[in-house]
Amino acid sequence: MSHVTGPDTSDLVERIQQEWAQAYPDLDVAPIGILGRIQFIAARSSHRLDRRLEPHGVTRSEYDVLGALARSPHPLRASEVVSTTMLSGASITKITENLARRGLLVRRKSERDGRVVLLEPTDAGRELVETELPRRLADDEAALSGLTPAERESLAELLRKVSAAVHV
């Protein structure tokens, strides 16, 4: 393991940025240093979560759905889950039918409105979320471990500004 095993992935974004800069010297490629790294961190940490969830036999999307239900003080409609998870309605139908079959949540029709499906985690579903949540927070915490409390505060604030300005 002492020899080079490929590009140093922690510098992948920097390398890409430099390649763009060399190929198109008249463009200001500085934004790539920020947005590219955001993409990179997001991809990596998604991947990490996938691996954490593998032993539980749930995908990240399934976990997102269960999480939304577990942190809610009341059952959610399918459409409410759509709006917090960034998944399509079609996906929510598939995923929740599947999770219901596996006993991790319960689907029932609303009595008030027969079009609506109400979703609620079972004890097993809630338990899955609760055992995995601290691990997930610990992983995220580890990613931030090189930052002082002041730096974390500053990073959170800067990201808040960016996320308010990023249009679809």
Partner DNA sequence: TACCACTATTTCACTAGTAAAATAACTGGA
Partner DNA sequence: TCCAGTTATTTTACTAGTGAAATAGTGGTA
CB 118 within 8 A of CB 111: no
**Measured distance between the N- and C-terminal CA atoms of the chain, rounded to whole angstroms:** 43
Question: Read out DSSP for 5-39?
Answer: -SS-GGGHHHHHHHHHHHH-TTS--HHHHHHHHHH
Smallest distance from the beta carbon of 98 to its own copies, in angstroms? Answer: 23
* Residue 84 interacts with its own copies (CB under 8 A): yes or no: yes
CB atoms within 10 A of CB 96: 22
Considering only residues 81 through 110, tell me which ones interact with DNA, judged by CB under 7 A: 82, 86-97, 107
When CB distances are held under 5 to 8 angstroms depending on the partner's kind, the choice from its own copies, DNA, none that residue 120 binds is none
Stretch that binds DNA, among 16-24, 76-84, 140-148, 156-164 (CB under 7 A): 76-84
Residue 91 touches its own copies, criterion: CB under 8 A? no
Options 9-17, 25-33, 77-85, 122-130: segment touching DNA (CB under 7 A): 77-85
